[in-house]
């Protein structure tokens, strides 16, 4: 209950026409933020590698492997998963979901950031927010005190950890705008895309963004176009959530109502590619 994690990723990627298989790292009755006061929890760590071993019996090829929120003891397990399932043309995307607003999520510490840094080193794409980027690099979080040169240097440092593509979310150079900054290390190319900044804290937006980003990549779109696609989906989902009223805010963004426009944008960009 509540829009986050796999309840967000699975429908978005599937709607984009990509067959999606999942390994739940845990099963919860609802998400752990906002208006929910309690929840049930079952750890699935011990099931992850047995599932992977079973999959290998089918010699199934994966075009991409994506990770989201992980528990502290799960990072080395997921690293082994990469080693087993990744092939030369498999895109690995790591969302280092561990911090926001200058603070670690409850239960995480700098040791976890170091472990996550090792996992990011195995990725082709990483999608941190600015807080997570600072912790990954062992640097002080600067809040709003940054310029474009700082963002560029941060993206380059993250790429130096291993990923060929870096996408920084929550980047703002104007008070009323917010967007995403991308870096393609191979092409040494930067790009920035922004929309209106709708103030507030909205649960699950990182999960929506990551799912939409990999959806674009697996539909043949560039990193830049995929990041813009993902940011637009998040922005439209937030607008739908705000329209629903205050009582909806803790539940997660209403991405379902933004999916039709998301699919149309994918198809339009694919049409341009085929011309």
pTM of the complete model: 0.94
**Are the C-beta atoms of 130 and 170 separated by less than 8 Å?**
yes
* pLDDT exceeds cutoff 90 at 206: yes
Q: Which two tokens stand for residue 181?
A: 């900054």
> CA quadruple 265, 267, 273, 275: dihedral positive or negative?
negative
* pLDDT exceeds cutoff 80 at 34: no
Q: Which fold has domain 6-274?
A: 3.40.1190
Q: Give the per-residue pLDDT at 235.
A: 96
* pLDDT exceeds cutoff 90 at 143: yes
What is the residue extent of each domain of the chain? 6-274
Strand 125-126 versus strand 91-94 pairing type: parallel
């Amino acid at each position: 209950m509540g829009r986050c994690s796999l309840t967000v990723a699975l429908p978005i990627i599937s709607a984009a026409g990509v067959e999606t298989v999942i390994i739940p790292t845990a099963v919860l009755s609802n998400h752990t933020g906002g208006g929910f006061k309690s929840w049930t929890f079952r750890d699935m760590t011990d099931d992850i590698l047995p599932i992977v071993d079973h999959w290998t019996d089918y010699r199934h090829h994966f075009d991409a492997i994506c990770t989201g929120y992980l528990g502290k003891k799960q990072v080395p397990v997921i690293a082994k998963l990469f080693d087993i399932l990744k092939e030369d043309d498999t895109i690995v995307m790591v969302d280092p979901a561990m911090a926001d607003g200058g603070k670690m999520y409850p239960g995480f510490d700098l040791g976890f950031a170091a472990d996550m840094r090792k996992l990011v080193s195995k990725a082709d794409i990483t999608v941190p927010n600015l807080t997570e980027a600072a912790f990954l690099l062992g640097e002080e979080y600067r809040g709003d005190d940054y310029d474009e040169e700082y963002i560029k240097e941060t993206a380059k440092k993250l790429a130096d950890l291993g990923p060929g593509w870096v996408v920084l979310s929550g980047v703002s150079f104007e008070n009323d705008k917010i967007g995403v900054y991308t870096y393609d290390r191979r092409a040494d190319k930067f790009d920035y895309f922004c929309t209106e900044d709708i103030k507030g804290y909205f649960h699950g937006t990182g999960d929506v963004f990551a799912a939409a980003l990999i959806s674009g990549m697996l539909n043949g779109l560039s990193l830049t176009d995929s990041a813009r696609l993902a940011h637009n989906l998040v922005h439209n989902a937030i607008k739908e959530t705000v329209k629903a009223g205050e009582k909806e805010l803790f539940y997660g963004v209403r991405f379902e109502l933004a999916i039709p426009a998301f699919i149309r944008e994918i198809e339009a960009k694919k049409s341009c590619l085929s011309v």
